Amino acid sequence: MILSTTDVLQDHTIDAYLGVVTAEVVYGSNALRDFFAGIRDIIGGRTGAYERVFERGQSDVLEELERRAQRLGADAVIGINVTTNTINLDETGVLMLITGTGTAIKLR
């Protein structure tokens, strides 16, 4: 399966557009990770724990896009866009939302 952010694939001919595929990954916050992130906010620097969560989430989103495209009989997903966001829960914390969209295609 080819996954690409471009809308064309060099040296490949698109035979059919099978539709838009989407994938979503939601991670809950973690009290310990939040504590250390808060310290980083005060002293400055990168928050590696959250960077790893988003890195894992982006990988999970791409894997899910691939699975959903395979169910449509696709050979590739093109025009992939991955976005990150948060869902604020009242006083209980924040959820991290990572979404991916792309177009499932069949190659000739």
- The CATH number given to whatever domain includes residue 12 is 3.30.110.70
How many domains does the structure of the chain reveal? 1
Question: Which token pair is 80?
Answer: 């992939």
Question: Which token pair is 76?
Answer: 């590739």
Q: What is the pLDDT of residues 37-48, one digit of tens each?
A: 555 555 555 666
Find the domain containing 41 and state its range. Answer: 2-107
Q: What is the pLDDT of residues 19-32, one digit of tens each?
A: 999 999 988 765 54
Q: What is the pLDDT of residues 89-105, one digit of tens each?
A: 776 677 888 999 999 99
Nearest partner of 19 among 90, 102, 100, judged by Cα: 102
